[in-house]
Amino acid sequence: MPANAPTTTTTVLTVRALLLDMDGTLVNSDAVVERCWRRWAVEHGLDPEEALKVVHGRQGYLTMAVLLPDRPMELNLADNRVMLAEETADLDGVVPVTGAPAFMTAIAGLPHALVTSADEALATARLTASGLPIPATRVTAEHVSASKPDPEGFLKGAAELGVDPADCLALEDSDAGITAARAAGMRVLGVGPRAVSLSPTAHTYDLTDVRVTAPLPDGTFEVHVGA
């Protein structure tokens, strides 16, 4: 190797299951998220740029509660239903995260679950628009009583797979999601630019540098992150 060549490292994580966030992790939906939330922020007299700092990873009603803390929750829940319908109908610019199609093919035979703050309809619409398979095991907004950063969704995903949370690897892109996964006792692979400053267990800017090995007799498999 030339003396001035950049060094590369690979992180190897031994796990029994993968718990996958959707937006920002498997699907790039930033364009539609920004369109819808900018519009909502302006309608409510908020700075859109400030609003966009807290929208990722949470269910919409919780984002609204953060931005308008004195607002009655029933109004947030009503607005959230409208927002979900708008986001489900608007698929312009929804594309897979780079490397996601190959990654999903590679993990097809391994224990994995979708854990997303989207509801079932929105998750189905975005995964389908991105050409990605819909995991058989899914924890969507309808299945939890508390949104990320609460760990409920990740704990339910692990339970449905029958895997101890400590043996799971969560793939996440946002502060709320990474906080939730950590609270569930899981290691975290941060995906994308939002995750880089959040000190996940390992980090990648997309899924092209993530590969998995075949399961060993004890049911574990390795996730290699890096070149």
Which residues participate in catalysis according to the annotation? 21, 23
Find, among 49, 19, 50, the residue nearest to 140 by Cα.
19
How far is the CA of 155 from the CAs of 33, 104, 186, in angstroms?
A: 26, 22, 9
Pairing of strands 138-139, 112-115: parallel
Tokens of 59: 């269910």
Rounded to whole angstroms, the Cα distance separating 13 from 103 reads 16
Strand-by-strand arrangement of the 10-15 sheet: 10-15, 221-226, 210-212
Q: Hey, is 73 helix, strand or coil?
A: helix
Backbone dihedral region of 87: left (phi > 0), alpha (psi from -120 to 50 degrees) or beta? alpha
How far is the CA of 133 from the CAs of 71, 123, 126, 139, 140, in angstroms?
A: 38, 11, 11, 15, 15
Rounded to whole angstroms, the Cα distance separating 37 from 64 reads 10
Q: Which helix (H) or strand (E) holds 43?
A: helix 30-43
